[in-house]
Amino acid sequence: MTKTRKKLIAGNWKMNGTLASAAGLAVALGEGLEKEPALLEACDFAVCPPFVHLLAVRQQLPVGVALGAQDCALNREGAYTGDISVNMLVDVECDYVILGHSERRQYHGETDGQVAAKAALCYEKNLTAIICVGETEVQRAEGCQEEVVGEQLARAVPPTATAGNTVIAYEPVWAIGTGKTASPEDVKAMHSFIRRHLKEQLAEGGNMRILYGGSVKPDNAEVLMSTENVDGALVGGASLKADQFLAIARGVK
């Protein structure tokens, strides 16, 4: 596998904060990175605030930290009450869009087919899709995690996906927000399965970034980030504090 890219440390702020706290977090990231510019050499960064905070965060974000949204609409524009289009995300200078997060799948019934359609819309506008996959606790207990993740990749990642327009995030559902992290052996096994699958599925599958997500914290970051085929992290809870988020990046050696 070619290792040409920096690790990507992406923060998923989920439905947290206020306009003031979101802008403050962006400012704090800038201050932290100014003190420790080596982190920008080791990692690429992105933060994904709630839609209504995107613009305020954009205005405060330091160079080297990209902006992302947590979802996008399935349609280009029109009578879709409550939805946010990819054009609107481009307008506020987003670079990334998280798609198919397990919370979207669970609470909004999002399907792999919808994720693929949204990703295709992102590609039209040069937005990079962060496509999330991962098995539930029951599926892991039954030993069918590879089958589940393989199916999600086959259905949710469009054939036009490239290493430039797509990042995969493996997030075991049972590890999200629970404090439980998959063991380094399990992460290694799943990421190598995903790598093999992507290589078979896509011309650029060998170079596509595969992030790990699920209770990534400063104290487990170094082990996780040094695991083979782990090209970064998608961080929820620990991305809400600038010092913790940057401490995770410090784990990238």
At 68, the amino acid letter reads G
DSSP 92-148: TT--EEEES-HHHHHHH---HHHHHHHHHHHHHTTPEEEEEE---HHHHHTT-HHHH
Q: Which stretch binds ligand PGA (CB under 6 A): 55-63, 156-164, 208-216, 219-227?
A: 208-216
Q: Using the rule CB under 6 A, is 177 a contact of ligand PGA?
A: yes
- Which residue in the set 190, 235, 242, 252 belongs to the binding site for ligand PGA (CB under 6 A)? 235
Q: Using the rule CB under 6 A, is 219 a contact of ligand PGA?
A: no
Q: Using the rule CB under 6 A, is 213 a contact of ligand PGA?
A: yes
Q: Using the rule CB under 6 A, is 220 a contact of ligand PGA?
A: no
Q: Using the rule CB under 6 A, is 237 a contact of ligand PGA?
A: yes
The token pair at 97 is: 């869009």
Q: What distance in Å separates the CA atoms of residue 136 and residue 25, rounded to the nearest whole number?
A: 31
Query: Cα–chain-centroid distance for residue 167?
Result: 7
Of the two residues 205 and 236, which places its CB atom closer to ligand PGA in the complex? 236
12 is in an annotated binding site: yes
Least distance between ligand PGA and beta carbon 238 (Å) = 6
Q: What distance in Å separates the CA atoms of residue 60 and residue 160, rounded to the nearest whole number?
A: 33
Contact 84, 69 (CB under 8 A): yes
Element (H, E) at 9: strand 7-12
Q: C-alpha angle with apex 130: 182 to 252, nearest 5 degrees? A: 55
Q: Which stretch binds ligand PGA (CB under 6 A): 60-68, 120-128, 157-165, 209-217?
A: 209-217
What positions carry a catalytic annotation?
A: 101, 171
Size of residue set near ligand PGA by CB under 6 A: 13
Of the two residues 126 and 178, which places its CB atom closer to ligand PGA in the complex? 178
Give the C-alpha distances (Å, rounded to integers) separating 175 from 150, 180, 191, 200. 19, 5, 15, 27
Least distance between ligand PGA and beta carbon 191 (Å) = 16
Of the two residues 12 and 139, which places its CB atom closer to ligand PGA in the complex? 12
16 is in an annotated binding site: no
Contact 3, 37 (CB under 8 A): no
Q: Using the rule CB under 6 A, is 216 a contact of ligand PGA?
A: yes
- Which residue in the set 176, 211, 225, 246 belongs to the binding site for ligand PGA (CB under 6 A)? 176
100 is in an annotated binding site: no
205 is in an annotated binding site: no
- The bridge status of strand 65-69 relative to strand 7-12 is unpaired
Residues contributing to the annotated binding site for substrate: 12-14, 177, 215, 236-237
Q: Which residues bind ligand PGA (CB under 6 A)?
A: 12, 171, 176-177, 213-216, 234-238
